[in-house]
Structure 1
Amino acid sequence: MAYDKPWKSYEDQLDQLMQRGMIVTNRPKALHYLERIGYYRLSGYWFPFRKRSEICCPLTAMNGKKFKRGTTDRIALDEFKAGASFQNAVELYVFDKKLRLLVMDALERIEIGLRVDISHSLGKKDPFAYLKPELLFEDFTTKLNEKNGLSKHHQWLTKQAALISRSKEEFITHNKIKYGFPLPIWVVCEIWDFGTLSTIFSGMTEADQDEIAYKYGLNNGRTLASWLRSLNYLRNVCAHHSRLWNRNIIDQPKPPKAGEVSWIDPFLDNFSHSQARPFLLLCIAKHLLTIINPSSTWGQRLKALLLEFPDLQHLGLNLAGMGAVAEWQEWSW
């Protein structure tokens, strides 16, 4: 399909929004936000403000969304719901920005804590255990990708080699000069990113995974592995400054068993919905962070921020859109 949307000035962009029913009470300020944040980025925040069609069965793709034959949906229209304002979108954008920054604070500490857990566990077996297939999960080292013919282990080692090559850290240079390659795991783990960390955890033996999982109140290391993959997805969303608050989570976490962690039960009645929304990942981050740093006030800061969610009831929006369960405010944060 040929792209036929014309370039528009900031003035024209704002006029178009007003023509579609958006309330603008301060035109100069709204223009400033369009110039500094951009129409396209802000559009992700006013998208939920748009009216929806009646239930229909689309025959072709609409608004970039494809439909399977026979499925029904409500289509987002260009016009806005009554009462939708430009300021509402800005307030939602600011809330989302604060949420991303708070999440990154938790993920940094989780990443560092898990680096220690993994390097300590594998290093006990061998300083270079990450190189030795016999010390890792068999499928991780032997099962080949049909597209490139490489195992996950080979792909992981390639990524780690690139991190080593790019690193400017003095401790990496020191170890390369004094001892050469390979680098022991307790050294090289310090340059892992969250994706590298979560992948090598998924490649550990089940017994080694379980040993670390027990530390976090879980009976199954594969559950923790899925949590780390999901948190890596969350980290990438935040690092790229993408919309978070009501995001559809692609890499979804597995549920622990009922009662395994005290806060999971309210999610289990509708877990498929909870898996697809960020609130569950926020709770997972809080769970891990409480064990890594029991004196952390991160949970309290998260609760305080969630209570600042903009008043958008007139548009039918609230924290349920991010997967918050009933009575979450009463939890011990």
Structure 2
Amino acid sequence: MSLVSTSPKKFLTIDEQIELLCGRGMVPSHDIKQWLHSVNYYRLSGYWHTYRVLESDGSGVVRRAERFIEGTSFTTIETLYEFDRKLRTLVHDGIERVEVALRSHLSYVLGASSPNAHTDRSYFRDGFDHETWMKNASSRVDRSAQTQPGSEGEEESPAGPMA
């Protein structure tokens, strides 16, 4: 798969992008220019895709036209984008909490058996690739140690790590 398009689209300035959207029936918002500059036309296009008119080619094939459903407002697209961004943040936060809780529970259960239970494959289910898991864990510990102030290859500033 090539990363270079065989028919690349012509570069459009932000003002030209606004003209294109308005020409297709989008009602601009007062800050459309800032949105297109900060977020990007193609990232936002996924949010306005469902607001494009459905049309049939006569043979029963339905596709999205380039023009928008009458009354489609860029403010609606902004609202959808913000909703999606906030939802992604909440989902990420929830997943992180579950991950931390699982790690905590795992360390508690294993630690109650032995301080080095994680190194003993008998604590794990049959079929678990303990060797690869240990290699990954060791690699992560080593990488973490290399990024700590005062670790090998990194000197701490005389004024402390925050200087």
Instruction: Tell me the TM-score normalised to structure 2 length.
Output: 0.71
The answer for unaligned runs of 5 or more in structure 1 is 58-71, 142-152, 174-333
Given the superposition, is the C-alpha separation of residues 48 and 135 from structure 1 closer, same or farther in structure 2, using an over 3 Å criterion?
Answer: same
Aligned to 1:273: none
**From 39, 46, 49, the counterpart of 1:37:** 39
User: d(CA) in 2 for partners of 1:137 and 1:52?
Assistant: 53
**Any residues of structure 2 matched to 1:226-265 within 5 Å, and which?**
none
Q: CA deviation at 1:93?
A: 1.1
Q: CA deviation at 1:94?
A: 1.4
**From 66, 84, 99, the counterpart of 2:87:** 99
**Any residues of structure 2 matched to 1:1-333 within 5 Å, and which?**
2-26=6-30, 29-54=31-56, 74-141=62-129, 153-167=130-144, 168=147
Instruction: Tell me the TM-score normalised to structure 1 length.
Output: 0.38
Q: CA deviation at 1:30?
A: 0.7
User: d(CA) in 2 for partners of 1:38 and 1:2?
Assistant: 22
Say which SS state the counterpart of residue 75 (structure 1) adopts.
strand
Given the superposition, is the C-alpha separation of residues 116 and 25 from structure 1 closer, same or farther in structure 2, using an over 3 Å criterion?
Answer: closer
Identify the structure with the greater strand proportion.
2
Q: CA deviation at 1:169?
A: 5.5
Bigger radius of gyration among the two: 2
User: d(CA) in 2 for partners of 1:84 and 1:125?
Assistant: 62
Given the superposition, is the C-alpha separation of residues 138 and 52 from structure 1 closer, same or farther in structure 2, using an over 3 Å criterion?
Answer: farther
Aligned to 2:160: none
Aligned sequence identity (%)? 31
Say which SS state the counterpart of residue 140 (structure 1) adopts.
coil
Say which SS state the counterpart of residue 127 (structure 2) adopts.
helix
Report the count of equivalent residues. 144
Q: Structure 1, residues 58-117: CA drift from partner, whole Å, max 9, x if none? A: xxxxxxxxxxxxxx9743332222221111101111122222233333333322221111
Say which SS state the counterpart of residue 137 (structure 1) adopts.
coil
